Structure 1
């Protein structure tokens, strides 16, 4: 490998993603005794004999973690339908991405895959297409077949079946060569408007199911007929229906049914009665059913957490828990020097990683009062971990720093009482502001919590603010709430940040600005509290903040204290704030890496500030994948490797950078990016425009792809070809040599 490329790799940020494969959308046979599973966090191989084997995920293999369908075709190529902008295919260890530039309809999100008539067929949000490894062509048939959303595909020797937002279509095998002919298609009018989402073929019948129930097209029939009719039940659905060695099965809310004559009966015991299934499948003679963790139909499309799957053993369903995190939507995290990592999640309590053992969960069965919206996690300077489930107060977890649950203690402290909590939880009334903490931080002598009102408009008098506390959770605790009237400027607090052993910055919601509390050094002692700029007052735009919407703080050695706002960063001057650096967008969280570089979560991606230079990393120029931001975002320094953890809806990101340059912000710039091959010409700027230039291209695997040179930087252009061949879509590392100086950079190419 090129030695300069190795230098480039060491200098560029390296991204890792801890995510969850617990929610399974679909499976595909491996043509042997196993299956490939498409999950919320990637694609993995499973067999009853060996369990989970190979796992393909983001960013090493896939452009995004969310995978909706998977297909191992007749040539042993693995096709993966992602929930983002790509279809991807693996062949012989090489991955190829297909986007709208390769003919994928709509915005690129692919829901379903099938192989029929020597073609790969893809169903998308926005259309239907057929193709092969070279690309795809959208399929429509004027006046008859013009699907906007295709949810599921099924194939049998005689017909290709298509389940769309409109209803069910079929295309006979002898018409697969001419899918653009309206006469080739049949539409089943009785399926229109039934909100169907999955289609299956049996030995002779065809089945389709969804919110309206399950229907069957019998052999020789000309219309689908209801087997299970839920058209009058708004809170019911059939998620899957499938012919198996155990009979015809259907999966619904907390149940797997089996058809016995004309009657459907509950099949087997051990299914979680309050959870929604995801998919039925059979492998090596064993029937399996994937399950999500959600318990109501409102959240049926919430795919951030699952339960893996259940398998039928006799008349009993056993549970197979997928390894790793059980929820990918993460919140505040706490990283320990011994490698332990704790993260709050949106639906599965606290996820904890123990080096040498892996991940485990702290949920209701372990003593947590609730698993939903566990927003905050922070280490106690004395012992244990504090966590908060929104509406459920503060929970202290003493896990003895061990993966094993034996001897664990979980105690939950609440304001007054709770209307509901898990039966396993130990509930202790305490003098805390309310039961809605949103952030926790540790200080040398104790802990701080940020609280918000549950309904500020409907219950404006509910006590809220911040809480200082310390003591022995198993003995005597000291609580010191600072609520309305104590000097705090607002009772709805978004974030807290200890800038020293005796000071705490407080950020308020709804444009309330921020405030500085200087205290005695003991969080539970309010006798020496001083508020700045004054009691009941906050710093705002009038104090120099670019926006009064403040989200986070960070103390940077040699620079000072920074505040992240809705319009960029601000630097504390000692009496007010001034704009810092060139970032002008919303910054929700930030942290320092071991080399003192600042990493900020923004709207355009992740910003890095190093030696006064600002760089931004997103899916166009790095492995980081943006996701919708939540009300609160969190970050933390990894004390083991010196990187930075970032919360996201796709999982827990870790960014590390061992070199001193990030591959951008070094003076070299390529434009436009992303570069659309065949439509644009890529140009170069940022260095001496009159000097000769050589640009070397490398694939992400380090392979040398080609070289493009010019007599001057100003005359250098690139049309997307190397050695006469158009390059594939993707990200390329480049080394730019000007006047014997080498500059690293990245180029994002789309076709």
Structure 2
């Protein structure tokens, strides 16, 4: 069992890492448990508590509280403990501290816990690997051997206690366990295989008179059979995800909310349920019926519309604060606002601690795939909805957006509902997949639409200010020397050139436009017109995904099989120690390059490389390779990575406002002759410094009432610290920082 007292932090020899943070969306509520005061809600981005009277009052997130961002179920048990079924173990909050149970503690499967239930004085966990029961000292995997053949299922989707039995929904039908008998005896179990094996049951509802199940429909347990009350089996894109028994009858959550009239006849229930959303759960609490308003499809848990509450007048939507969608694309900090593209919620923007998103009713043509964001002249940004042109947003700087202005530039007019302001422009097509800007110049990387692969495509550029109406345009295609018309990524070098990565395995190319982007006559191409660099040129792979300038003036190139550094005269050199797909790169304020990979994050400081994966950091790998991005936020001293599940924010202290952070003197430190190491750069408060070796082994812990009173003579519990580089975790005034120190002997 794991009991993390502090957020996980990564110690790097080449840079300072203060903290890892992860931001995902809690707008999709997967399940909820009502209490007398409010609802505990399990979401795709953590757990929150909604007080019926006061609103949102508590939240628990990854990695500071939970072992994973995705929470399938939540339970507050009879002793007040809060259990959270997550994608990486079962977490319990007790007496102010979290404990996590994993496969090492009897939780079967890969770590995905789907449901948690209290029954018969036990806590039960259903997972992707079976069933486990907790008696107070640990979990026992209720497999076929332990139950003497009584329980044979490999996956558990739902649990419910009723009539002194535990009901279990599995991939092979429903089981029941007599809670008054021993679970280690086969006769205590019953498998309702013939009646339920093909019903696809995902949940239960118990009433004083009946036991119901739901999933591919709604079913009632009758003597000798499970009676079908609602059949969704002929609708593969639909699923019943919740069931409630109200004074008005049985109510089901599916494509909207439906009430049973009689037999198999149902009707839509309640006015005003958010259109185009899947109802995700049902629960009664605070005198109301509550429902989760999810996305358009029940399998898409990336975002939701919020919580819906049924009042006599109809459904009222309660918006859930925070990141509007988990699947993020390019982040950019512009005029103090964090903008981010998304897969389902258009352009997202954070003003202080408040998020909003732009969609069709704000003037953005489409919300599905908004990949790029770039700075524009004045208080404005550029963005693009895939297949819907290039959009300019003048931002009034407030979350309401009441005074914002949006204009979309298109190669040919687009038909959207509601209509949006649009203007035809000499773009090559309506797919703008990447943007790079400098001052009044915007470069637009385009690709053909999949249904029209022969349409014009390539690189476009515009110069001017949309607010002044003085935009001038130019384009570059294969006829002008471009190696391919399908562009994946761009990097402006600041010296009159731009790096271009092409889709697929088409490599990369460099355009020297001589400082005159609208004029082709002085253009030059490297390696040559209509040619690109690839593996034959020294790159690890011809699949080029990302670029970044390094502090020496070269260019780091992320590929599908590692990282390369390009320098004038030397060409491409592979960076040793960085492997796999390098999806995005950003340079921090100290010149360290942070690389987002499929399996790890790398920090590259010259020839020094440190990697962070699941073994030494909170990093969660995802399999999306394209359309990942990175940015440096100098005001906060943090690197931001996008991903399919949310945004990583890694505080490095490099070049951050306020400077420096903890500093040790002298460096390097030579112990002996009464010399001591002193500390500066931290708040004037009690301070503790924990020292670790480069392999993470604990060396020493030194505390003092203030930084001025702190010192270390190099001694450890086992003697004297050996010469070498050490990591120091400095805690003062509630702030935890990580830096390095050197000892010489």
> Please, what TM-score do these two structures have when normalized by structure 1?
0.84
Q: Following superposition of structure 1 onto structure 2, how do residues 249-288 of structure 1 map, counting pairs within 5 Å? A: 249-259=251-261, 263-288=265-290
Q: SS of 1:190's equivalent?
A: helix
21, 45, 65: which one aligns with 1:16: 21
Deviations 1:519-564 (A, max 9, x none): 1434444443221122111122232222222111111222522111
Cα distance in 2 for partners of 1:6, 1:452 equals 40
Q: Which whole-Å deviations, capped at 9, do the CAs of 1:613-655 have from their partners, x for residues lacking one?
A: 2111122212332223242210011131121110012211111
* 1:532 match: 526
Structure 1 position 509, deviation (Å): 1.8
Matched, 1:61 2:65: yes
Q: Using the TM superposition, name which of 307-316 and 555-564 deviates more.
A: 555-564
Structure 2 residues without counterparts, runs of 5 or longer: 1-7, 655-659, 663-691, 703-714, 731-745
**1:453 matched to 2:448:** yes
Structure 1: which 5+ runs fail to align?
Answer: 663-683, 688-692, 699-707, 713-735, 747-751
Residues 380-529 of structure 1 mapped to structure 2, 5 A cutoff: 380-418=376-414, 420-455=415-450, 459-473=452-466, 475-529=469-523
Report Cα offsets for 1:282-306 as digits up to 9, x if no partner. Answer: 1111111101122xxxx42111111
Name 2:683's counterpart in structure 1: none
Indicate how the Cα distance of structure 1 residues 260 and 379 shifts in structure 2: closer, same or farther if over 3 A, else same: farther
Alignment check: 8 A CA contact 1:25 1:37 kept: yes
Give the CA deviation at 1:144: 4.6
SS at match of 2:401: coil
> Who is 2:348 aligned against?
351
Q: Is the 8 A contact 1:143 1:182 kept in 2?
A: no
For 1:8 and 1:620, the matched residues in 2 are separated by 12
Matches within 5 A, 1:125-204: 125-140=128-143, 141-175=147-181, 177-178=182-183, 180-187=185-192, 189-204=194-209
Contact 2:505 2:544 in 1 (8 A): yes
Residue 693 of structure 2 contacts residue 726 of structure 2 at CA under 8 Å; is this kept in 1?
Answer: no
The question of 1:247 aligning with 2:253 is answered: no
Choose the corresponding residue for 1:335, options 333, 336, 344: 333
The C-alpha deviation readout for 1:301-341, integer Å capped at 9, x for no partner, is 111111111101104101001001110110011112x4310
Kept after mapping to 1: 8 A contact 2:434/2:490: yes
After superposition, the Cα gap between the structure-2 partners of 1:694 and 1:170, relative to the gap in structure 1 and judged at 3 Å, is: closer
TM-score by length of 2: 0.84
Cα offset, 1:261, TM superposition: 7.3
Deviation at 1:365, TM superposition (A): 1.9
Shift in CA distance, 180/612, structure 1 to aligned 2, threshold 3 Å: farther
Query: 1:520, 1:527 within 8 Å by CA — same for their partners in 2?
Result: no
Q: Which moved more, 1:266-275 or 1:378-387?
A: 378-387
The C-alpha deviation readout for 1:198-252, integer Å capped at 9, x for no partner, is 22212221111112x111125xx33210111233344443222111344321112
Change (3 A) 1:520 1:417: same
Name the residue aligned to 2:91: 88
1:310 to 1:515, Cα distance in 2 relative to 1, 3 A: same
Cα distance in 2 for residues equivalent to 1:394 and 1:493: 15
Is 2:589 the counterpart of 1:600? no
1:226-245 aligned at under 5 Å gives the runs 226-245=228-247
1:275 Cα deviation from its structure 2 partner: 1.6
Give the secondary-structure state (helix, strand or coil) at the position aligned to 2:643: coil
Report how many residues are paired: 671
CA separation of 1:410 and 1:559: change in aligned 2, threshold 3 A: closer
Whether the aligned pair in 1 keeps the contact of 2:583 and 2:625 (CA below 8 Å) is no
User: 1:112 Cα deviation (Å)?
Assistant: 0.5
Shift of the 226–179 alpha-carbon distance from structure 1 to 2, 3 Å rule, reads farther
Distance 1:312 1:481, change over 3 A: same
Residue 654 of structure 1 aligns to a residue whose secondary structure is: strand
Question: What is the DSSP-based 3-state SS (H/G/I as helix, E as strand, rest coil) of the residue aligned with 1:224?
Answer: strand
Partner of 1:672: none
Name the CA distance, whole Å, in 2 between partners of 1:562 and 1:262.
63
- 1:668 equivalent in structure 2: none
Q: 1:72 aligns with which of 71, 76, 83?
A: 76
Aligned 8 A contact 2:436 2:491 in 1: yes
Question: In 2, Cα distance between the equivalents of 1:742 and 1:447?
Answer: 45
What does residue 375 of structure 1 align with?
A: 371
Partner SS for 1:365: helix
Aligned partner of 2:298 among 294, 297, 300: 300
Counterpart residue number, 1:705: none
Say if 1:710 and 1:519 are closer, same or farther in 2 by CA, change over 3 A. same
How large is the Cα RMSD of the aligned pairs?
A: 3.0
- In the TM superposition, residue 38 of structure 1 has moved relative to its aligned partner by 0.4
Deviation at 1:35, TM superposition (A): 1.8
The structural deviation recorded for 1:18 is 1.9
Contact kept? 1:26, 1:70, Cα under 8 Å: yes
Please state whether the residue corresponding to 1:306 is helix, strand or coil.
coil
Match of 2:668 in 1: none
Tell me: CA distance 1:328–1:522, structure 2 relative to 1, closer, same or farther (3 Å).
farther
2:581/2:598 contact within 8 Å kept: yes
Contact between 1:520 and 1:526, CA under 8 Å: does it hold in 2? no
Q: Secondary structure at the match of 1:402?
A: coil
Structure 1 residues 445-467: Cα deviation after superposition (integer angstroms, max 9, x where no partner): 31112112223xx7442211111
* Structure-2 change in CA distance of 1:504 and 1:145 (3 Å): same
Alpha carbons 1:489, 1:538 under 8 Å: kept: yes
Secondary structure of the residue aligned to 1:196 is coil
| SS of residue in 1 equivalent to 2:341 | strand
Shifted more, 509-518 versus 618-627: the winner is: 618-627
C-alpha contact (below 8 Å) 2:694/2:725 kept by paired residues: no
8 Å CA contact 1:546, 1:565 repeated in 2: yes
The equivalent residue for 1:362 is 358
- Structure 1 residue 153 displacement after superposition: 1.1
Q: Secondary structure at the match of 1:378?
A: strand
Aligned residue for 1:653?
Answer: 648
**Partners of 2:594 and 2:309 in 1: CA distance:** 44
**Structure 2 residue corresponding to 1:588, chosen from 583, 590, 596:** 583
Q: How far off its partner does 1:470 sit? A: 2.7
Confirm or deny: 8 A CA contact 1:127 1:148 kept in the other structure.
yes
In the alignment, which residue of structure 2 is the partner of 1:727? Answer: none
Contact kept? 1:447, 1:470, Cα under 8 Å: yes
